[in-house]
Every structure is written in C-alpha cells, then in structure tokens.
Amino acid sequence: MENTYEFLTSENIPGYLGSHPEISSVIDASSIVEMNEVGDGNLNIVFIVKDKSGKGIVLKQALPYVRLVGPSWPMSADRARIEYETTLIHSQAAKHLVPEIYFYDSERYIIAMEDLSDHKVWRTALNQGEINPGSAEAIGEYIAKVTFASSIFGAGAEAHKKSLAKSINPELCLITEDLVFTEPYFPAERNSYLISNEPDAQAVIADKQMALEVGELKFKFMTAAEALIHGDLHTGSVFVKSDPAGKSVSTRAFDSEFSFYGPIAFDIGAVIANFYIALARATALEREEQADFIATLPQALWSSFEKNFRTLWPTRVDKRVFSDELLDVLLSTWKIEALGFAAAKMARRIVGLAKTSDIETLDEDVREGAARGVLRSAQMVIKERHINVDVNLMTVKVREILDKTRTVKGSN
Ligand code: SR1
Ligand code: MG
C-alpha cells in the first residue's frame, strides 16, 4: 500500500492543489505558473510552486525509497509524518524558527508548507562565501527552545513518555547509526574518498581510541531519550535570509524527518560539525574574512543554546531534584557530548555515504587537503573534548589543523 501512491509531477500538481481549498489563501491553484523540483536532499521530492501573483507553496513528498540510491534501498515514507508532527511540535516552542505547515496528506506522504524561496539554504550561502551574522544564535535558540519544551523539564513525565512513543523513528535512526556511528571507522562498502585521502581514511580506521569514543557516542545516541531533537541539523537543513549588510533577518530549521527522542547534544554537535566543514572550505579557498567569521560560529551557537536553556530553566516542571546545580552539570556534559557528536559527523561526511557540497565541489587538488583537515580535526576533537571544553579554543585548534593540511591547485 505504502509503495503504490501517486508521486507528485508538474502535470498533477495544479489539480492536487485545487483539491485542497484550505490553502486557497496561500496560493491560487487555478493560476499556477511555475513548478520547480528543487529536492537537493538525499531522500525526497520537493516542488516549489508559484501562482501568477507570485504567491508560493512548497510540496514535499517522501518516496518509498532513498532517492540518493534508488528503489534498491526501500525506506518507509512514514518519515513524512514524523517531519510533519515534529515541525508542529517544534513550532509550539519556536514558531519563528521553523517553516509554517499548511497540511499533511497521510495517503500520499505530502507536506504542504511555507515557501521560503526568498531564503537561501545556509550551506549554499556559506559555499558562496556569504557571512550571515545572527543565524548561529538563532539556531542555538531553536535547539534550546525545542529541546527544553519536549524534555521532562518542559513537558513533564507523562507528556514526555507519550510524545516519545509517537516519535520512534527506527529506520532513519538506523541510517545515522550506520553512516555516522559505524561505517567511517571500519572498512565498509559504502565508504568512498579520493585515492589521495586513502592514508587519512586508514588512519581513522586504525584509531582505536576514536572507535571507543564513537562507541560511547553511538550508545548515547541509541538510548538517551532526552528530547524531541531535529536529528539531521546540518547547514543544509537551515534556511537563512540576510539583509544587504549580511545580518540575518530570518533563520529556519527545516527537514526534521530524522527527528526522534535523542540526546540534546546531538543537534548542537551536528551544526558545529558543519561549521568546521564550512571552515575547511573557506580555508581551502583562502577566504580569510569568511573563515574568521565561520570560526566564531561554534561558540556563538553554544552560547545562545546555553543562554536560552538557562532562561527556560526556572519554568521546569519539578524543581525539587532538578536543581540549579544539576543544570550546570547537564550543560557541562552536553558541551563535551556535542563536541563528540561533531567529530563523528565530520568524519562521516568525508569518508561515509552522503557527503557535503562544501568539500565535494572543491577541485580535487584542493579537496584533498580540506578532507584531510576535516578528518584530522575529527580525530583531535573527539579526544580533546574531555580536557578542552572551551569551544573557541577547540576551534582555534581545528583551524591550525586546516591551515596545516591545506593543499593548492596543481599540488598533485
Ligand atoms: C541515505 S540518507 C543519507 C544522509 O542524508 C541525510 O541528510 C542524513 O544526513 C543521512 O545520513
Ligand atoms: Mg535532509
């Protein structure tokens, strides 16, 4: 049944929208002039649809398989429901930081949502050399608000358990368990990299301390049902809109289909990893001003998360055992975990399946050094996090590695 539903096409979209009168104020289905398939993720079909007055809507449909690989890798389309429900739950805590949802079609696994095409995917903006002050702080606020609200601190024991039961997402969690927490550290069929990076990938596989650290993080990922996290919060899952001076005026986290009850630090680490990957690109391309800016983002993200979580703390459900001292302990623990998750997310994007355009679009000669730098930084961060919990200091060390491993055009 799940595999037999009709997929969206530019032929059937006008009729489909016409059959949903509840969105008649969002878009005029009788005057559709543009339908662009823009799905650049690994899993779904995404159309941006515009009417003749310029009003738009996004239709996102989950396929019954992984788009990146094709029908040979079947995947439950129920992930669309997870994304829909999580976006609604997250919007209760941080409405201005997620897209608006118009409806969910449970028969065809389609989410109709706000057209944010006046925004840019943050990864694209960073790849183009942009500087977007304010977005790291906004994402720190998003993580703090949605995790606090869905945790036992914000939701209370019963609501936490009920929400947890509705949000289990075993298939997509398994992707993360395999691609982030297993395959990069062992010889695996789906791993790939430049031949010149073979020694770097082998060094990761030979790094027994790293494998141990990753094992601990994987256990945490699989068992710590702390809050309803986004689950795949990289810079490709964030939209930014900046004013002409570059200041972010709107930041939205989207694409939460990997959402489940997991460790709060996982989303923080995922974003930090992608800042370090963006830093590797900026370093490789000698974009010094941008690299200086990107280097401020990990701390900006963490500080905003901490500030927002601390602000919410007095509203927690049970103040007897969940004391102010406990909050300090939790924040220290989450910072160390976030750096660990960041390291695992860095390694996976270089060695494992599903890479990032930040690195992949670099010329091979330049890519070699950037990829090496990200891998060596991941090996450093995952171990140093236990003794160096200063995010800025960690970034300085990552930068030193990236500067040292940089390769230039014609170096091979
Ligand atoms: C097969 S899915 C590969 C990756 O794409 C998503 O963005 C997640 O990061 C996943 O690991
Ligand atoms: Mg995605």
Q: Which atom in ligand 1 lies closest to the alpha carbon of residue 348? A: 11
**Which pLDDT score, from 0 to 100, does residue 412 have?**
67
Scanning the structure block, which residue is given the tokens 């509840």?
A: 22
Instruction: For the chain, give every domain's residue range.
Output: 2-114, 120-405
Measured distance CA(232)–CA(236) in Å, rounded: 9
Architecture of domain 2-114: 2-Layer Sandwich (3.30)
Q: Which ligand is nearest to the CA of 83?
A: 2
CA of 234 to the centre of ligand 2 (A): 8
For 120-405, CATH gives 3.90.1200.10
Nearest C-alpha neighbor of 75 from the set 49, 103, 41, 30 = 41
For ligand 1, atom 4, which residue shows the shortest CA distance?
A: 354
- Alpha-helix residue ranges (DSSP H) falling in 352-389: 357-360, 364-384
Measured distance CA(159)–CA(139) in Å, rounded: 25
Neighbours of ion ligand 2 (CB under 5 A): 41, 255
User: pLDDT tens digits, residue range 115-142?
Assistant: 999 999 999 999 999 999 999 999 999 9
Whether residue 200 has its Cβ less than 6 Å from ligand 1: no
What does the longest C-alpha to C-alpha distance in the chain come to?
Answer: 64
Q: Which atom in ligand 1 lies closest to the alpha carbon of residue 258? A: 8
Whether residue 124 has its Cβ less than 6 Å from ligand 1: no
Nearest C-alpha neighbor of 79 from the set 162, 176, 198, 158 = 176
Measured distance CA(124)–CA(115) in Å, rounded: 17
**Which pLDDT score, from 0 to 100, does residue 1 have?**
44
Structure tokens at 283: 């370093």
CA of 364 to the centre of ligand 2 (A): 26
For ligand 1, atom 6, which residue shows the shortest CA distance?
A: 42
DSSP 195: G
What's the first-to-final CA gap in the chain, in angstroms?
53
CA of 38 to the centre of ligand 2 (A): 13
Those residues of the chain that have pLDDT short of 50 are: 1
Kindly report whether the global pTM for this prediction surpasses the value 0.85: yes
Q: With b meaning 16 or more CB within 10 Å and e meaning fewer, what string describes 361-384? A: ebeebbbbbbbbbbbbbbbbbbbb
Helix-strand-coil percent breakdown of the chain, rounded to 5?
55, 15, 30
CA of 169 to the centre of ligand 1 (A): 14
For ligand 1, atom 3, which residue shows the shortest CA distance?
A: 354
Whether residue 42 has its Cβ less than 6 Å from ligand 1: yes
CA of 233 to the centre of ligand 2 (A): 8
DSSP 188: -
Backbone CA torsion sign across 282, 346, 235, 34: positive
Contact 229, 147 (CB under 8 A): yes
